[in-house]
Amino acid sequence: MTPPAGSAPRADSGLAPEEAPLGAGAVASPPRPAVRAVRPVVGTVSVPGSKSLTNRALLLGALAEGTTVVEEALWSEDTRRMVEGLRALGFTVETDLAGGRLVVHGAAGRVPAVEAVVDAGDAGTVARFLTAVAACGHGRCVVDGSARMRQRPIGGLVEALRALGGDLDAPTGCPPVHVRGRGLAGGRAAVRAARSSQFLSALLMAAPLARSPVELEVQGTLPAAPFVEMTVRVMAAFGVTVERPHPAVFRVAPQRYRARRYRVEPDASSASYFFAAAAVTAGRVEVPGLRPDSPQGDLAVLEVLARMGCAVRWTADGVEVSGPARLRGVDADLGAMPDMTPTLAALAPFADGPVRIRGVAVVRHHESDRLRALAQELRRLGQEVVEHDDGLEVHPRPLRPAVVETHGDHRLAMAFAVTGLRAEGLLLRGAECVAKTFPDFFERLEALVEGGGQTPR
């Protein structure tokens, strides 16, 4: 069960040809010229379903009694990894990619496999969530991933699972994690979640499977807290109640998840790049399917865009953003929505004053060290950047042509594509990494720029 040193495990996934790995084994392509916008972009863009909601629904469907149908599901590298990981743990997941549906046959709280290797690739939700699920089973499992995943922290999750009776270890504090499943006894655990809110989400989703009630107490500041609220809401949709007697305390009694039809709403993180496209070109873009009561915390980026001078209007179908003639500089704490850091950084060169981003130290442990990578690439484009421990300060300067490195990070690739709408001579190296969460991002952006109107779905 121990993978070869220095490599992530690879196993026959049993995927049908139409489910072939997105980008797996692909040869790095030449730098991709950014799409240029010669006029304001105007149109409606349908974005794929939320990755965060898709992966949570898949997981809870697997733990539920009955068969769950996940509709409008995202199919991307991250969600493929979740499907493969669940299959490795013995769950049955069917795909209807043409219909945008994933069908999960629940095992009623059991983890079927007695021997498993889960390859999370670059997907943090897969590594963290399936580690917690494997600890609830009664078998041996190794959870591993890419070279970058082996640098991403998981020790806080492992410690909390041990406190609840789990038998597992991660000697480096990062994957690989070796799980000797014997179920979770329950009890109380302190959660050091400063490195990732996914630790707490993983524990919450596994908690109903414990033999006795679970109490989780968060120590320190919880980053990206709206993602935990999202987890609690999805758990409720599958029939499980989470009590919260104190802002830092979560209690979950032993309960059963119930299967259901679950419709995934559009991904707010993906939508942010099209809102930013409107902002940077003084255009107007509508994304249908989003609602003000969405559980996705990244929609709060609309408030930041409004402070920068954008007009935000909720419509009967979704939300519309119109950009101003010139964006205003802003000082923004993005601690509740750290994934929006690249989006805001991409807009900074076009502001009329400095753009300060705070409260996002956690993004140093994402697909790249996002703060360092953003600072490096913005400087390459001629910007003056001050890098802080928890953020960036960007002083706008004239843009200059450059080859921008994506650092294998999907959010950097999409964010700098927005910068490229108004930056002459910007090329993106490694742009294919958008397959992680948004495989046809560039096609949708090009369709919007070329003519507006409804982009392909």
User: How far is CA 143 from each of CA 34, 116, 123, 201, 296, rounded to the nearest angstrom?
Assistant: 37, 8, 12, 17, 27
Sorted by sequence, the CB contacts under 8 Å of residue 38 that are 6+ apart come out as none
Largest CA distance in the chain: 62
The two tokens of residue 112 are 């079927």
Across the beta sheet with 330-333, what order do the strands follow? 330-333, 355-358, 391-395, 384-388
Long-range contacts of range 184-188, CB-CB < 8 Å, 24 or more positions apart?
A: 184/135, 184/136, 184/209, 184/210, 184/211, 184/214, 185/210, 185/211, 185/212, 186/210, 186/211, 186/212, 186/213, 186/214, 186/254, 187/163, 187/212, 187/214, 187/215, 188/163, 188/214, 188/215, 188/216, 188/217
Quick one: DSSP state of residue 36? P
- Count CB-CB contacts under 10 A for residue 97: 12
Q: Is 339 a catalytic residue?
A: yes
Quick one: DSSP state of residue 65? B
DSSP lists the bridge partners of residue 357 as 332, 392
CB 347 within 8 A of CB 277: no
User: Do the strands 177-180 and 168-169 form a parallel or antiparallel pair, or are they unpaired?
Assistant: antiparallel
Sorted by sequence, the CB contacts under 8 Å of residue 207 that are 6+ apart come out as 164, 184, 186, 214, 216, 252
The two tokens of residue 148 are 């970058």
- Count CB-CB contacts under 10 A for residue 400: 13
Quick one: DSSP state of residue 191? E
One of 119, 122, 144, 339 is an active-site residue; which one? 339
CB 415 within 8 A of CB 346: yes
Catalytic residues: 339
